Structure 1
Amino acid sequence: MKSGSLKLTILLLAALGAGLHGCAANPVTGEQDLSLMSEEREIALGKKNHPEIVKQYGVYDDPELQAYVDRIGQRLVKQSHRSNLTYTFTVLDTPEVNAFALPGGYIYITRGIMAYMNSEAELAAVLGHELGHVTARHGVQQYSKAMATTLGMTLATIFVPELRTDVSQQLMNILGSAMLSGYGREDELEADRLGAEYLARTSYEPKAMIDVIGILKNQEEFEKERAEKEGREPRVYHGVFASHPSADTRLQQVVAAANKYKRNGSKPGHINRESYLTQLDGVVFGDSVNQGIRRGNAFYHDGLNFSLTFPKGWQLSNEPKALSAISPGRDAAMEVRLVELKKDEKLTAKQVMTSKLKLGKLEQEGSVPGSRLPNHSAIARIATPFGRRNARVSVVLYKDRVYAFFGATKTDELLKQTDPMFLKVTASMHGLTARERKWAKGLRIDIVKVGRDTSFKALARKSPIPNYPERLLRLINDKYPDGELKAGEAVKIIH
């Protein structure tokens, strides 16, 4: 026996000795799979990490839409291989184009990906794909393989350990890669096959799976092209299309095979375009007003009444707990976050740095040049995305709230060059002007019926979308790259 095989055997025996399952029947295939996790443990881990997902992304505040998605999801569940589990379907409040699942029955879809869907069948296809990952226990298999070979990953590094949000932990460390970039070609194809089967069994059109892949493949190509022009990394969805194009022969075969599960014979399944668009009418598009609006290199927050300006070309990322920005060369980064104080706790900016951020030795202390707000700034050695190193840290007091600004670079030499820019960003913080308050209002999807002579070019001229409005309108209406509108057709516009 090879030494590698011997080590793996010892690991598995140790796991079994600890009360973990070594193998289990796959609910879909019936075959024995490597499994170091019982179904009870699978459910418990999903339940434990669900609040962390909600904390990370936020739940979209639309009970009617949440109920609609849950209703579609539960309909699919009844026809699945693991209908015994209790499933939770959640629409996340993020513009990211994504959907994913935790083991144990927790399935998530973003309002961002829903903006690109054009029918209930397409929504069901995305949910069915993620349901397929759960029923086939792909997450559990990923976990088991990683545990057996002691592999893992770290999802993210933030600047100050004391402010860290516990998003990953054991399960998320291992599953994070799969959630973000897919489970691999074979597992993704199996999830497509299962999703198509569940569509057919629920009287939806299985071909919607291929339609979704085509739509999101177009979105991926557009996003990659746009990201290259903007000097940033593309943000694309891992799931139903990343591992294969819509013309993939095997994909066509597994979807076609699902037709045998249809309840209405050879007749087309349900599409339900109008009912889906009705639910989508009024849904937020892009950034949420509650979390702040990114427009170019500026950031506006209506609720907190402030604006910030970053250098041109920097990529802004807005999460519930922090606003971050990274340079085009990815060698410099900034992060802005609220610092929580106890009720009636009054601290100076410097006291916040020492007692709340728990910074050690401070160098080059002073006020932020050009800032009209109470503040304190210094160079301190902290944990950054580039490792532990010197970084610019500033604290600003504004309207009974405390904001911490962190600026870091790959090298100390680069910090010297970039430090004035970090300070300039901090100094740009100010209350919204009347014009900026208009920009701080979020965008929403509006469903309208177009006239005979309406074109995407005409719609784009009236659109508040700042960049590539015509192409984006074509994308969200499945008319990319050069499709045109028909008189009386219901389409999505942004207002």
Structure 2
Amino acid sequence: MAGRFSAHAFIIGLVAFLSACAADQTGSVLTPATIRVPEQAPKTTGRVRIGDDADHSKLVASFGGEYRAPAAHKLLTEVTERLVRASERPDEAYAVTLLDSPVVNAFALPSGRLYVTRGLLALATDTSEVAAVLAHEIAHVTLRHATARSEMALRSQLVSRVVADVLNDPVTGAQLENQSKFTLARFSREQEFEADTSGVRVLAQAGYDPFGASRFLEALNRTMALKTGNGNAAEPDMLATHPATTERIALVTRAARRIGAPGLGVDERARYLAAIDGLAYGDNPGDGMVRGRRFLHPGLRIAFEVPDAFAIENTRNAVLGTTPEGSRRLLFDQVEASADRGLEEVLRATWNDAIDSTSVENRIIGGHPTVTALSKGKDWTFRLAAIRVGETTYRMIMAAKGATDPDPAFRRWVESLRPIEPEEAASLKPAHLRIVIAAPGDTVESFSRRMVAPDRATDRFLVLNGLERGASVKPGQSYKLIVE
């Protein structure tokens, strides 16, 4: 990730990476009837948009490309067709694309293109849960939510521009623009509630268990708690376009109860697990892999190990990490810098805040030229490093809340950076899901020990299989394991 980077941006970026679906917690849950698009809003195009093929290609590329899993894709297509027949617009056509990404995500284009990541399929435990996600995305399309958001956004931009340029009042124009961001975010959250309510209704009408929606959102919330490392999902963002997951769970649970008691409709668990057996899990080795506290990138031929207590995640542009209480954070990324450019210059050019000149140190670590430095902010203290491995330059940043200098842990982390030998790179295999049938004597603990998990294997086994802490496995029932 090239470009200048500030202490503020560093902290905001790490918070964003840990954020779950979030909302303004002070507002009340609005009913679908409260959603209104201003009459003065400029009108945008309808369901079919020019350039949709280009949007599709960009989206697929940004999520790692299309993932080939014929059985899983067949299931997604059949579920979608069943949901559409039960929807308010049964004549509309949809196409589902499975994305090669470990993140848990699903979204839709107004044209009817639906997208589901393999990370989402790995988290779901039965067909009704995936059907709930698809029903939610179909609702966005049938309710024309993207068009409504575009109209409101265009109107907000128009008002701000008129005030700033035509009326020559840039201050008021900026205030209106800032207010419009909150308005648009709240509007988007209201749409999410409406899509949730509509999705549960269609889910039940299609014959699926309507409580599949709440089960999946519960699993999502537990997954986010695993990421934070402290058992709690991340704090909400006032400008988040999605409500807090806990709010959504309450909403879809109420909607399902209005339809009937648990047990109504099918979940098709066995069919679902059979369809995802062998599904890739976690990072693609070509994009780098997290193994506990280690990060390995066969393509770049590098590896490092983070200090104790840090949990790390490999994102598209950087490796990010945090301790459970959030008082220490780290970032590793690659920066664009020519081989003849000084490493101190690279650090200063990619860090907006003040660097303590007396702290700058030129070193050789593992045979690689390295420059380290200290930067102190109002609330955080940062240690920075620029390291040149061959012709590639990397940054390593560690932050500690308050005035505490994270230097001891930072140095251990930086000194752990090492090259990966070709033999080791070739031996790294992607993890995948294996569906196993519990035998007498199998337990949560014995299954967890068979898991190749980045951390907290028992908790991950429970979440992946929709089990609460203290639950037991049942002989004869199928379960998901993460294996190599």
TM-score scaled by length of structure 1 = 0.66
User: What percentage of aligned pairs have identical amino acids?
Assistant: 22
* Correspondence for 1:432 among 405, 420, 424: 420
Q: Say whether residues 1:96 and 2:96 are aligned partners.
A: no
Deviations 1:320-356 (A, max 9, x none): 2322335667677544334569xxxx8346389669x
**C-alpha contact 1:293 1:441 (8 A) present in aligned 2:** no
Q: Name the CA shift for 1:82/1:337 in 2 (closer, same or farther; >3 Å).
A: farther
Q: In structure 1, what is the Cα distance between the partners aligned to 2:322 and 2:369?
A: 23
Which position in structure 2 is the counterpart of 1:369?
A: 363
Deviations 1:9-41 (A, max 9, x none): xxxxxxxxxxxxxxxxxxx99x98445442348
Pairwise CA distance, 1:430: 0.8
* Correspondence for 2:386 among 394, 400, 412: 394
| Matched letter for residue 402 of structure 1 | T
Q: In structure 2, what is the Cα distance between the partners aligned to 1:223 and 1:435?
A: 35
Q: In structure 2, what is the Cα distance between the partners aligned to 1:138 and 1:95?
A: 26
Q: Say whether residues 1:220 and 2:221 are aligned partners.
A: yes
Which position in structure 2 is the counterpart of 1:135?
A: 142
Deviations 1:452-493 (A, max 9, x none): 332223222333335433343233222323443333222212
Q: Match of 1:229, SS?
A: coil
Note the aligned Cα RMSD (angstroms): 5.1
Q: In structure 2, what is the Cα distance between the partners aligned to 1:328 and 1:458?
A: 26
Deviations 1:258-296 (A, max 9, x none): xxxxxxxxx965543333212211112233323222234
Pairwise CA distance, 1:219: 4.9
* Number of positions where the alignment pairs a residue of Structure 1 with one of Structure 2: 422
Which position in structure 1 is the counterpart of 2:63?
A: 57
Q: Match of 1:377, SS?
A: strand
Deviations 1:353-401 (A, max 9, x none): 669x7899996798753512443536699xx9x99x9983514224xx5
Which position in structure 2 is the counterpart of 1:242?
A: 246
**C-alpha contact 1:447 1:492 (8 A) present in aligned 2:** yes
Q: Name the CA shift for 1:198/1:467 in 2 (closer, same or farther; >3 Å).
A: same
**C-alpha contact 1:298 1:308 (8 A) present in aligned 2:** yes
| Matched letter for residue 191 of structure 1 | A
Q: Say whether residues 1:407 and 2:408 are aligned partners.
A: no
**C-alpha contact 1:119 1:272 (8 A) present in aligned 2:** yes
**C-alpha contact 1:349 1:374 (8 A) present in aligned 2:** no
Q: Name the CA shift for 1:230/1:492 in 2 (closer, same or farther; >3 Å).
A: closer
* Correspondence for 1:252 among 240, 245, 256: 256
Q: Say whether residues 1:126 and 2:133 are aligned partners.
A: yes
| Matched letter for residue 407 of structure 1 | I
Q: Name the CA shift for 1:378/1:469 in 2 (closer, same or farther; >3 Å).
A: closer
Q: Name the CA shift for 1:460/1:67 in 2 (closer, same or farther; >3 Å).
A: same
Q: Match of 1:115, SS?
A: helix
Which position in structure 2 is the counterpart of 1:320?
A: 316
| Matched letter for residue 214 of structure 2 | I
Q: In structure 1, what is the Cα distance between the partners aligned to 2:450 and 2:236?
A: 27
Q: Name the CA shift for 1:109/1:198 in 2 (closer, same or farther; >3 Å).
A: same
Q: Which runs of 5+ in 2 are unaligned?
A: 1-31, 159-176
Which position in structure 1 is the counterpart of 2:83?
A: 76
Structure number with greater CO (CA < 8 Å, separation at least 6) is: 2
Alignment of 1:174-193 (within 5 A): 183-184=188-189, 187-193=191-197
Which position in structure 1 is the counterpart of 2:230?
A: 229
Q: Which runs of 5+ in 1 are unaligned?
A: 1-27, 152-169, 258-266
